[in-house]
């Protein structure tokens, strides 16, 4: 296979990726003005397709018209490296006053997927130009994925063959807690196992004036909630973390009627499968205790499971070196512990080794604008840096044997 991996070759690719800063900024701002929530990314897909067509880059659109796959011009290298970006927005009202604020009511890019898409497009353009100068040196694929926020998009892309013959896959996620010019990652577990659950409580309804004639499911739910939060407090063991929360407590429709049923829904986040099973076993035990104590019937269901992202050690080391080549020695931090957030990027690891890196987008001169906030924004100087890291990672992983 070709072995041309000189500093000049890498520098050529980095220069190509860095030269597209203005194009990436314009695309990111277009997407920020015109966000689409998970499952509705039709206009976003069409916009990316138009950008690619204007450049003469081949691509294929998903059959449902949401998401695209781009393959390199040459397909004769021994390894195919995939780069992935998510492109959906959140159902959240944009509270910023910038001229590129969302034009859509209650939809905004509050998680940086607009930046992810812009950086990947920059990398695609650079890699396409690089192919013309160094034909056959690397084989790459770009995956523009919908519906990450609902954890459905990665599976959709897998179903249409996004990971066929792929040897490794890389992605970036913006991180406002890191300043521009820095990145971070870690080998092994990077994100949490994310689960959702539902607890249905059935009692015996009746008149609010005669509670003694009822089995009050709301009272049972309140007792249960207190017991669960005593068992899983907000401050968790950093060595074996558990993040437990209840986000829905629904019951009744009239203030003077004790209802028949009550429902609680919530989430559990852990970093080890054994911890997940331990938590679920303990919840079931608490429910059994509550049935005895209250007379109500309690039913438990696990309704959703998203695996951890587990960064492949060697793949991550190569991407770490690529990041340092772009940002400078010591500018890529090694995270001490996994994040308790989730990422459907984890589904790709069933097909090939993965590496997910965090890219700094914070600005020293401004307050931190946290992810999933109506005020979220980022320092766009990070865009060419992310594009360079993606492109160089593809090159380094492609020649790795």
pLDDT at 1: 42
In sequence order, what are the beta bridge partners of 188? Answer: 311
The 3 state secondary structure assigned to the chain is CCCCCCHHHHHHHHHHHHCCHHHHHHHHHHHHHCCCECCCCHHHHHHHHHHHHHHCCCCEECCCCCCEEEECCCCCCCCEEEEEEECCEECCCCCCCCCCCCCCCCCECCCCHHHHHHHHHHHHHHHHHHHHHCCCCCEEEEEEECCCCCCCHHHHHHHCCCCCCCCEEEEEEEEEEEECCCEEECCEECCCEEEEEEEEEECECEECCCHHHCECHHHHHHHHHHHHHHHCCCCCCCCCCEEEEEEEEEECCCCCEECCEEEEEEEEEECCHHHHHHHHHHHHHHHHHHHHHHCCEEEEEEEEEECCCEECHHHHHHHHHHHHHHHCCCCEEECCCCCCCCCHHHHHHHCCCEEEEEEEEECCCCCCCCCCCCCCCCCCCHHHHHHHHHHHHHHHHHHCC
The answer to whether 377 and 95 are in contact (CB under 8 A) is no
pLDDT at 6: 66
Distance CA 345, CA 26 (A): 26
pLDDT at 2: 45
The CATH architecture one would assign to domain 7-191+314-399 is: 3-Layer(aba) Sandwich (3.40)
Q: Give, in degrees to the nearest 5, the angle at Cα 395 between 390 and 396.
A: 95
**Two structure tokens written together for 344:** 């459907």
Rounded to the nearest 5°, which phi and psi values hold at 169?
-140, 140
Per the document, the length of the chain is 401
- Measured in whole angstroms, the distance separating CA 266 from the mean position of its chain's CA atoms is 19
Distance CA 313, CA 133 (A): 31
Low-confidence ranges of the chain (pLDDT < 50): 1-4
The answer to whether 111 and 376 are in contact (CB under 8 A) is yes
pLDDT at 368: 75
CATH topology (fold) of 193-306: Alpha-Beta Plaits (3.30.70)
Residue spans of the domains in the chain: they are 7-191+314-399, 193-306
């Amino acid at each position: 296979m070709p072995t041309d991996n000189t500093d000049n070759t890498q520098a050529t690719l980095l220069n190509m990726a860095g030269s597209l800063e203005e194009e990436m900024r314009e695309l990111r701002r277009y997407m920020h003005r015109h966000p689409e929530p998970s499952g509705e990314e039709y206009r976003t897909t069409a916009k990316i397709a138009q950008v690619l067509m204007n450049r003469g880059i081949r691509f294929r659109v998903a059959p449902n018209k949401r998401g695209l796959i781009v393959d390199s011009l040459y397909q004769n290298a021994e390894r195919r490296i995939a780069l992935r970006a998510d492109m959906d927005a959140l159902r959240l009202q944009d509270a910023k006053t910038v001229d590129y604020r969302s034009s859509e009511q209650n939809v905004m890019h509050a998680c940086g997927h607009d930046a992810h898409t812009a950086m990947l497009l920059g990398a695609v353009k650079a890699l396409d130009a690089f192919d013309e100068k160094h034909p056959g040196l690397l084989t790459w694929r770009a995956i523009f994925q919908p519906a990450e926020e609902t954890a459905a998009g990665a599976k959709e892309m897998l179903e249409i063959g996004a990971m066929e013959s792929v040897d490794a896959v890389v992605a970036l996620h913006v991180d406002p807690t890191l300043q521009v010019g820095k990145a971070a990652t870690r080998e092994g577990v990077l994100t949490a196992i994310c689960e959702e659950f539902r607890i249905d409580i059935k009692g015996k309804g009746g008149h609010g004036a005669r509670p003694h004639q009822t089995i009050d499911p709301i009272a049972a739910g309140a007792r249960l909630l207190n017991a669960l939060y005593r068992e899983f407090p907000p401050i968790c063991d950093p060595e074996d973390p558990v993040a437990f929360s209840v986000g829905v407590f629904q019951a009744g429709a009239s203030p003077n009627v004790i209802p028949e049923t009550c429902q609680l829904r919530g989430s559990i986040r852990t970093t080890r499968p054994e911890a997940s099973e331990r938590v679920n076993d303990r919840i079931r035990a608490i429910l059994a205790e509550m049935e005895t104590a209250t007379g109500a019937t309690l039913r438990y269901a696990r309704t959703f499971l998203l695996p951890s992202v587990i960064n492949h050690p060697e793949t991550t080391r190569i991407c770490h070196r690529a990041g340092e080549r772009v940002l400078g020695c010591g500018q890529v931090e090694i995270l001490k512990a996994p994040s308790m957030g989730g990422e459907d990027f984890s589904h790709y690891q069933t097909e090939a080794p993965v590496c997910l890196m965090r890219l700094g987008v914070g600005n020293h001169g401004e307050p931190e604008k946290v992810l999933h906030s109506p005020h979220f924004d980022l320092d766009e100087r990070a865009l060419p840096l992310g594009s360079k890291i993606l492109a160089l990672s593809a090159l380094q992983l492609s020649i790795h044997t």
